[in-house]
Amino acid sequence: MQHSTPSPNQADKKRFELLHEIGCVACSMWGFFSPCQIHHLLSGGIRRGHLYTIPLCPYHHVGQVDHGRNIRHMATLLGPSLALESKRFHLVFGSDDELLAKANEAIGKLRRIKDGNQTDHGDAAGDPPRGDAG
């Protein structure tokens, strides 16, 4: 399959690995983890590049319904699918850039944890500030 982006380099592949560890950004807003696919964000119908990727589960990404369920049931449980209801998806979960920011924030947190640089909660942008240890 031909895409508008070149093959991913090592840094891109590492990003994809981290996105897979984070799981679906939409499902995480409901408070749970779902295995994901990599979604490339678009501009004018063209992929913006491998750095502009977010993790989405098969339902949120392409509208894939779990075995034994239907679209209505999935939408009730998980909200709208990007593939099936793009405008509603963005109303519920945020713009592409907001979702990218959430994914990048989660990658930053995960990297700090893996590097042993995060000793407590609140080190990432968007987290509540910590009180002074005094």
Extents of the domains making up the chain: 10-112
> Which among 28, 131, 130, 127 is positioned nearest to 78, based on CA atoms?
28
Strand partners, 46: 43
5-16: per-residue pLDDT in tens?
Answer: 889 999 999 999
| Residue 7 identity | S
Side-chain half-sphere of 10: how many Cα atoms within 13 Å?
0
Q: What pLDDT is recorded for position 8?
A: 93
121, pLDDT greater than 70 = no
CB contact set of 59 (below 8 Å; sequence gap of 6+): 34, 65, 66, 74, 78, 81
Percentage of the chain modeled with pLDDT above 90: 69
Instruction: Say which DSSP state 39 is in.
Output: E
15-68: per-residue pLDDT in tens?
Answer: 999 999 999 999 999 999 999 999 999 998 889 999 999 999 999 999 999 888
Is 0.85 surpassed by the pTM of this model? Answer: no
Measured between alpha carbons, how far is 53 from 45 in angstroms, rounded to an integer?
14
Confidence tier at 69 by pLDDT (50, 70, 90)? confident
Alpha helices in 24-85 (DSSP H): 25-29, 58-62, 71-78
Which CATH class for the 10-112 domain? alpha beta
76-98: per-residue pLDDT in tens?
Answer: 999 999 999 999 999 999 999 99
53: left (phi over 0), alpha (psi -120 to 50) or beta: beta
Q: What pLDDT is recorded for position 120?
A: 46
